[in-house]
Amino acid sequence: MSTPLSALSNILSSGIATIESTYAKHGATFPSIDELFQPAPFEEDEALCQTIDHVIAAASQLIALVKPAPRNTVEAAFSFYLSAGLEVALSANLPEILREAGPQGLHIKDIGDKCGCDPHKIGRILRCLATNHIFREVSPDVFANNRGSSVLDTGKSVASLKADPISKHDNTSGIPAIIGHITDESMKAGVYLADNLLDPKTSTSQEVIDSPFSRTFDCANEFEFLEKPGNEYRLRRMGAAMHGGNLSIGLSAVLTGFDWKSLKPDALVVDVGGGIGSATLHLMKDYPHLRYMVQDRPKVIDDAVKFWEIENPDALKSGRVELKGHDFFEPQPIKDASVFFLRGVIHDWPNAYARKIMKHLRASAQSDTKLILNDFLVPYAAYSDNLFSDIPGADVPSPPYPLLANQGPVSNSAVMVDLQMMVIGNAQERTIGQFIDLAEGTGWKLGSIGRHFKSTRVLLVFDAVSF
C-alpha cells in the first residue's frame, strides 16, 4: 500500500485531471480564484461533485499532514479572526464598495473614505482575508473582489445600503445574511462555549435557557433576543438567512428521498412547523395528487396566507393546501395523516424537547403513518464498519484511502452547524446513532434514509411502532 502522502497526491492529480477534462468537454476552463463566482450548470453533475469532494478532502488532509503540527493547531486557534474580519467586511459594505470600484480595485484610503473606517485597519483586515483567498490584493494596499468575496455581495448599490441599512438583505441570495448571522451573534455566543460546558450548572442541561447564547445575551432564547427593541436589523437578516439557507441546502432530498408517489391520492401530508410552507409548495408542484397542511405558530400562519395568496391561491381555494396554527409541543390534532413532515425542526431542540414533539405526533398517528425528518445527518469521522447496514440508505460508499470516513472539511457544514445548534439552543444535529437513540421510547423507529448528492440534508423516514 502506498504511503498516505503519495496516496493523497494521487487523489489530487487524478481528481484535477478529471475536473479539467470535464470542463474542457463543456468548452470551459476551470475558473481562476481571481474571477467572481458564477456557478456553471454542469458543476451539478454527480460524478464531478464527488470528484471535487475528494480533491477538497485530500488537499486539506495533505496540508494537515505536511504542515508542522504546532503551526497547524496554533493557526486553527487563530482562525476566529477570519470570522471577525468577515463581520467587518459585511458591516462596512466592503464587497459592494469594491464591486463598484471594478476589477482594478481600490486603495485602502479610498475604501476608508467610502465606509467611514480607519483605512489602515481596514487594509490589515482585508490583507488577512486576502491571504486566505477571500478578496485579493491587486497591488500594495489596493484590494478587489475575487471568487471568495463575491459571495458576500448583496448586489445592491452602496448608496442604497446606506440609505436603508435595515433592509440590506431583503430580496438577496441570503448567503451574506447567513454569514452575517454566523459572524455576529453566533460568534459572540460561541466565545462562551467552554464556559458553558465546564460550568456544572449548565454542562448537562437540556434547557434552551442554559445555552451559551442565553448566557451571552441574557435572554431565554434566540427568538426572544431577535425580537428585542434594537435588534430589528438582526431579525430581518435572520429571515433572509433562513431563505438563503433553504436555497443553498436545496430541496433535492425532500423531493426524491422518499417515494411520495406511493401515497394514495388525497393522502394527507402535514408539514409540522413548516413556516410559510415553502417546502410544501415545492412538494405540491411535484406531487399534486396529495393533500397538504402547513402548521406553525398563528403569527407565522398569517404570513403563510399572504405567501400562498401570491404563489398559489388556487391551492388554498381548492383545499389542496390548508394553513393551521399549531404549537407542536401541544397534542397533535390531526389524526388521519399519512406523513408528518418536519423540515429543520428537530435540530432546533435538545433531546427532551424533540422527544416530546415526536411523542405527540405518534399519539395521533395511524399504524402506517410515516414520520419524515429533513435534517443534517452528521457523518462519523471514523468508519462505522457497516454498523447500520440494516437501515436502507445508511451506508454510503467509502472515500479512497487515506481520507477520513466523512472526508474531513467536506462535512464541515454538518459538524459546524451541529456546534452552532449547541451554542444557540442546547440543541444539535445528529448522527445515525443519535437519531436511533432519540426515537427510543417515542413510538417511532428509523426505517430508511433518503439522500441526494446535491443536498447536505437527508430524509430520515421513521415507521410507527408500539410504545
Catalytic residue numbers, as ranges: 347
The helix or strand, by DSSP H or E, that contains position 371, with its residue range, turns out to be strand 370-376
Strands 268-272 and 457-464, by their bridges, are unpaired
Separation of alpha carbons 388 and 406, rounded Å: 15
Separation of alpha carbons 259 and 238, rounded Å: 33
Residue 81 CA from chain centroid, whole number: 21
Contacts 24+ apart (CB under 8 A), 96-101: 96/153, 96/154, 96/156, 96/157, 96/158, 96/161, 97/158, 98/135, 98/143, 98/144, 98/145, 98/149, 99/145, 99/150, 99/153, 100/157, 100/158, 101/144
Report the residue count for the chain: 467
- The answer to whether the beta carbons of residues 250 and 413 sit under 8 Å apart is no
Place of cell 487515506: 402
The helix or strand, by DSSP H or E, that contains position 144, with its residue range, turns out to be strand 142-144
Neighbours of 276 (CB within 10 A): 20
Beta-carbon contacts of residue 227 (< 8 Å; ≥ 6 apart): 235
How far is CA 426 from each of CA 132, 204, 213, rounded to the nearest angstrom? 31, 9, 9
**DSSP tag of 328:** T
Q: In the beta sheet, which residues pair with residue 291?
A: 268
Separation of alpha carbons 124 and 102, rounded Å: 21
**DSSP tag of 261:** G
Give the SS3 label for residue 6. Answer: helix
- The amino acid at 289: H
Place of cell 451559551: 212
- The answer to whether the beta carbons of residues 425 and 354 sit under 8 Å apart is no
Separation of alpha carbons 351 and 426, rounded Å: 9
